[in-house]
Amino acid sequence: GENVEQHPSTLSVQEGDSAVIKCTYSDSASNYFPWYKQELGKGPQLIIDIRSNVGEKKDQRIAVTLNKTAKHFSLHITETQPEDSAVYFCAASPNQAGTALIFGKGTTLSVSS
């Protein structure tokens, strides 16, 4: 089955700096890769996702890159702000009906002002 590794487990940056979180996956059949942000006391919220037919996707300060050959994908946050502080999870899925997501262990991002 699929296995997703996520690094680092914690990340501290200064406001305005960039943050990068990396994930690797094991199942070459996986073709859908969402990223979730979880704030304290809330459930995970989807912030961006990418499919295997795309190498990069951007949404304002957030971007995701995918390297299918190496089986890794990354989340990039530019111009970080204190409200970006949260736990971020990557996930992978073969995106077949009824197949659930396999999540990484999460990265706790702290942005200090």
Partner 1 sequence: ETGVTQTPRHLVMGMTNKKSLKCEQHLGHNAMYWYKQSAKKPLELMFVYNFKEQTENNSVPSRFSPECPNSSHLFLHLHTLQPEDSALYLCASSQEGTGKETQYFGPGTRLLVL
State the residues that interact with partner 1 by CB under 8 A: 4, 32, 34, 36, 41-46, 49, 89, 93, 95, 97-106
Q: How far is the CB of 113 from partner 1 (least distance, A)?
A: 27
Closest to partner 1 by CB, 18 or 99:
99
The Cα–Cα gap between 36 and 9 comes to 15
Least distance between partner 1 and beta carbon 26 (Å): 14
Nearer to partner 1 among residue 77 and residue 106 (C-beta): 106
The first and second tokens of residue 96, run together, are: 């077949």
Closest CA to 32 of 105, 91, 106: 91
Complex with partner 1: residue 62 or 78, whichever CB lies closer: 62
Q: Least separation, in Å, of the C-beta of 15 and partner 1?
A: 27
What region does 98 belong to: left with phi over 0, alpha with psi -120 to 50, or beta?
left
Indicate the residue among 10 and 112 with the shorter CB distance to partner 1.
10
Q: How many CB atoms lie within 10 A of CB 68?
A: 14
CB of 46 to partner 1, least distance (A): 6
User: How many angstroms separate the most distant Cα atoms in the chain?
Assistant: 43
CB 80 within 8 A of CB 18: yes
